[in-house]
Amino acid sequence: MLIDTLSKDVLLNPLQTVIGIVERKQSLPILSNVLIEKINDYVRMTSTDLDIQISTQLSGGLPSQGDYAITLGARKLLDILTKLPEEKDILLDLVESKLQVRSGSSKFNLQTLPAQDFPLIKRVEDKKVCVALPQKLLKRLLGQVKYSMAQQDIRYYLNGVLFSVNECTLTLVATDGHRLAYASATLDSPHHRCEVIIPRKAINELLRLLDDSEAEILLNISENHISAEFSEISFQSKVIDGKFPDYRRVIPEYKNHLLLDRKMLLSSLARVSILSNEKFHGIRFILTEKNLRIISNNSEQEEAQEDIATDYQEEALDIGFNVNYLFDGLNNINSDVVQISFGGANSSVLISIPDRTDFRYVVMPMRI
């Protein structure tokens, strides 16, 4: 039974949208599949890993007669589509329990599994907070904090990003215990207070799907789920059940500040880090009057140092850091100048944007 005739891009583009959460090997075979279903005049494609679900609509095809729903191996279908010629239409033909994919002289028979067994995540109706904002804004906020998420930490509530809505402010916070990133934005209208922790995998998928446009994304946040609607994409994810640390107590207020050109500092760190220890990536900041000296050394007794002229006039300071933590923060600041605030040799440092309170990055010191 011929079920549809589609151009390559009509099938390939939505598949690339939903396939990010699909693994080739799954304990439950159907989770390796993608669901393709036609309801009336709409054809949708859906993937899930039981915690995250992504759906998107196909457009530009030639609608078939009658509705249908099939599931088939997502990665196999992607491999086939990427290697088929651009100019040929693709015919989808259901023959018993197999889907025949034909294009030109090529023909593939793919095993299907029953669509009714596909474990769809039920749409959440208990909306707690509904937030609308531009995609580019959410993408920027996520980019400013994502690198501070923990990876497989036993403190499971650190393996994600805190979304906090309070009145007209949306705040995102991530920490792995060694550094903490905070970013906030002003919303157009006030909302009830709400806090949820979005898992790491869901954050990475959102970042992959969002674009840099002013197009709106609608976030529906409830106690157990978060969903997003944007660019004909429907995204749902479970949230982490846990209490995020009180980040307000971690962000310090210091009086000793240092203003530096961000690109110049990044260049200096890149050069000095060449001779840092390959395991610990440690570098030292030695601050004296009107000078910042950056030093690194390694187990082979090699050393690099670079001096930067500053306007610093406070007490001398010698403090060490993991240079990769500094790279992460500095590479995600949208400002030419950064402000680094110091407490003492054993205290964290605060990296921020001068005269702004919407970004804070706290890095713990490292003993070198």
pLDDT tens, 33-91?
999 998 887 889 999 999 999 999 987 655 566 788 999 999 999 999 999 988 888 99
Tell me: pLDDT of 286 over 80.
yes
- Domain at 129-249: CATH code: 3.10.150.10
More confident residue, 177 or 95: 177
Please give the DSSP secondary-structure letter assigned to residue 344. -
The region, left, alpha or beta by phi > 0 then psi within -120 to 50, assigned to residue 157 is alpha
Distance CA 28, CA 71 (A): 13
User: Domain-by-domain residue ranges, the chain?
Assistant: 2-117, 129-249, 256-363
Question: Tokens in use for 340?
Answer: 């680094």
**pLDDT at position 113:** 95
pLDDT, mean over the chain: 93
Distance CA 351, CA 333 (A): 10
**Highest CATH level, class, for 256-363:** alpha beta
Let me know: does 79 contact 16? Beta carbons within 8 Å. Answer: no
Let me know: does 269 contact 345? Beta carbons within 8 Å. Answer: no
Lowest mean pLDDT among 3-12, 137-146, 175-184, 225-234: 3-12
pTM value?
Answer: 0.93
The region, left, alpha or beta by phi > 0 then psi within -120 to 50, assigned to residue 240 is beta
Same fold? 129-249, 256-363: yes
Cα torsion through 339, 341, 346, 347, rounded to 10: -110
3-state secondary structure of 330: helix
Lowest mean pLDDT among 48-62, 175-189, 280-294, 303-317: 48-62
Amino acid 308 reads: I
Tell me: pLDDT of 24 over 80.
no
- Homologous superfamily of domain range 2-117: DNA Polymerase III, subunit A, domain 2 (3.10.150.10)
- Counting Cβ atoms within 10 Å, is residue 299 exposed (0-12), middle (13-18) or buried (19+)? exposed
Distance CA 312, CA 292 (A): 8
